[in-house]
A and B are shown apart, each in its own frame.
Chain A
Amino acid sequence: MAYLSIPNVVVRGIAVCVPPFIDENSNYPISEEDRIKLISTVGVARKRVADDSTCASDLCFNAAEKLIEELSWDKKEIDCLIFVTQTPDYILPATSCILQDRLGLSTECYTMDISLGCSGWVYGMSTIASIVASGFGNIRKALLLVGDTMSKITSKEDKSTWPLFGDAGTVTAIEYVAGNEGFKFHLATDGDGADSIIIKDGGYRNPFSGDSLKLQKFEEGIARTNLSCYLDGMNVFSFAISKGPQSVNKLIEKYSIDKDSVDYFTFHQANLFLNEKIRNKLKLEPEKVPYSLENFGNTSSATIPLTMVTELREALTSKKLNHIGCAFGVGLSWGSVYFSTDKIVCPELIEY
């Protein structure tokens, strides 16, 4: 069972960068009835969309530069960089290597990419914390860059994906502090649902071909090529309403966490209808469950740090807080993390 308790690590800061262009769902060409439902029930009124020349790595790079500056970290001391994304710069090399150089980090840096979506920040936290903790002080400072440009892999003519997803890049700064309680995790996987969220062509199972570019119309308002993301909303909903609450409960039970002592439960921002089902199943007060969905949509791996920065910034920078983060989606992959923050550095939302 993938329960992890990783001591001697702390979160020092979180920063988020989004593209400046705001795509209003009120302009999306669907029926008035569908549009009302989209905004009130799915909960997404608008989202950010990157221009053609901006990648997830660019958003994360700008977030990282700002956070390093505000933390007054010496770049020479950053010995680990992990980049979680499913929209990398290239098929190869790993984008994290490019980011290590762009950020001017030491060549003695542990660097790698992780390919996960919705659950990516939680999994990324477990990976970076494990590496930093295993360094026993040799790696003192580390950066977890997490972000996606979903707009580049969703079809504008697919009402089941385009209005839902937004673009964002984030960075979470982790430091080695001996004696600290660290982070606790529950992590899980069910590849049986691999085809519930999938881009069929362009990998090596179905290599890119001329047919990959064919626009296929599935029903009114749903047209895409095999290079765009397919989402079986019903399967994902069915999976998430049971696994999301279950994962949080497993984490709480395993580590005897006092539920009342948790200040905020920040969930992957999937859609309002689903997230509220999860919140109600866990009997959580609305004040403890922040949402960024209305203004930023579902930003895949970036949702948890994005929601923390846009909704909890004042509390994060001024108080000691206990958090549970829970994410679920593409893979299917899901997990929860428990950690504390103590007056962390949190620059205002950055635009690039």
Chain B
Amino acid sequence: MELDKFIQHFAAQFEDTDASQFTAETRYKELAEWSSLMALSIIGMVDEEYEAKVKGDDIRNTQTIKDLYEIVKSRM
């Protein structure tokens, strides 16, 4: 599992935020487009692309895309 690919999948869930805005250190919940439904899209993306489970607390307790990547990686 690659971080770059994860960031690409992550960015693909967003419609109004430019892909260039997404890096490993992006504090994703601070993005203007972030919402509770966006959280579901991310959970759905991880389920589809990595067959791993992300829970509510994982979203609540992580800040950056890399934080979330590490969780997904540990569950694969």
Contacts and interface: CB of A to CB of B under 8 A. Distances in A.
Contacts of B57: 235
Interface residues of B, number: 15
A86 to B, nearest CB: 21
B35 A237 contact: no
Given A235-B55, A235-B56, A241 B37 contact: no
B36 A233 contact: yes
A237 B40 contact: yes
A234 B55 contact: yes
A277 interface: yes
A241 B44 CA distance: 7
Contact of A274 (B40, B48, B56): B40
Contact of B47 (A196, A233, A241, A273): A241
Nearest to B60: A234
Interface residues of A, number: 18
A234 B39 contact: yes
B59 interface: yes
A82 B12 CA distance: 48
B53 A237 contact: no
A37 B40 CA distance: 13
B54 interface: yes
Contact of B40 (A160, A196, A234, A281): A234
Interface of B: 35-37, 39-40, 43-44, 47-48, 53-57, 59
User: Would you list the 4 A-B pairs with minimal beta carbon distance, nearest first?
Assistant: A234-B56, A235-B56, A232-B56, A238-B43
Interface of A: 37, 41-42, 160, 196, 232-235, 237-239, 241-242, 273-274, 277, 281
Given A232-B56, A234-B36, 20 more contacts: A42-B37, A160-B36, A196-B56, A233-B56, A234-B40, A234-B43, A234-B54, A235-B55, A237-B40, A237-B43, A238-B47, A238-B53, A238-B54, A238-B56, A239-B53, A241-B43, A242-B47, A242-B53, A274-B40, A281-B48
